Chain A
Amino acid sequence: KNEVEQSPQNLTAQEGEFITINCSYSVGISALHWLQQHPGGGIVSLFMLSSGKKKHGRLIATINIQEKHSSLHITASHPRDSAVYICAVREGIGTDKLIFGTGTRLQVFP
């Protein structure tokens, strides 16, 4: 069983739809990251959170530490949001290494 699991693996949406991507983890963590990878490879960090909720533009990330679960929401989705979204966790406080989920591939159609 993977320590970090994402769902769904693939997601298609029409422009304007509200999108939710889920991440569950089985280890104790000090932080959770949401990353975005566009075709071509480059990965950028969207959020780093250890509690509560963060918002940046149309993106919202939430985390429930007790339930070991995080969600990434995209409001008013747009074709340029099409990418792979990756959840990663930092296990405990003694390491700077991350454990990655396998990613959710999102395609938003006009």
Chain B
Amino acid sequence: DVKVTQSSRYLVKRTGEKVFLECVQDMDHENMFWYRQDPGLGLRLIYFSYDVKMKEKGDIPEGYSVSREKKERFSLILESASTNQTSMYLCASSRRGVLYEQYFGPGTRLTVT
């Protein structure tokens, strides 16, 4: 079974803090994704990585950066957290190619006060 884990289920941070969200997958997947999910907006892609050290901006990359130093780990960084980054953050992974589905982590609910 594919397992995608995220470092925290709930996180509370203050405005201006640097925040690290970590995601680890155990199935040797090439692709990893970071999404945020907000009511009424659905899942929106923040960043996508298709290989180690490779990344591609998604639809809403502003205020975020990512790091993928090892194949199994994909980190999302909020350089200076703001209240409008309060959201549910979901990580996913998949094999490369049309035939493969994405596997999601349990999500991190981040509150920035």
Residues of A within 8 A of B (CB): 30-31, 33, 35, 40-45, 48, 50, 86, 88, 90, 93, 96-98, 100-103
Contact = CB atoms under 8 A, between A and B. Distances in A.
Contacts of B45: 97-98
B15 interface: no
Contact of B98 (A43, A90, A100, A101): A90
B42 A102 contact: yes
A96 B102 CA distance: 9
Nearest to A103: B42
Given A96-B31, A100-B43, A42 B106 contact: yes
Contacts of B101: 33, 45, 48
Contacts of A97: 33, 45, 48, 58
A96 B50 contact: yes
Best-buried of A48, A86, A97 by chain B (most CB within 10 Å)? A97
**B interface bracket (residues with beta carbon within 8 Å of A):** 20 to 34
B88 interface: yes
Interface of B: 31, 33, 40-45, 48, 50, 58, 88, 90, 92, 94, 96-107, 109
Contacts of B43: 86, 88, 100
B8 to A, nearest CB: 12
B42 A41 contact: no
A49 to B, nearest CB: 11
A101 to B, nearest CB: 6
Contact of A98 (B41, B99, B102): B102
22 contacts: A30-B98, A33-B102, A35-B104, A41-B88, A41-B109, A42-B105, A43-B90, A45-B101, A45-B102, A48-B99, A86-B42, A86-B43, A88-B43, A96-B48, A96-B94, A97-B33, A98-B45, A100-B43, A101-B42, A102-B40, A102-B41, A102-B42
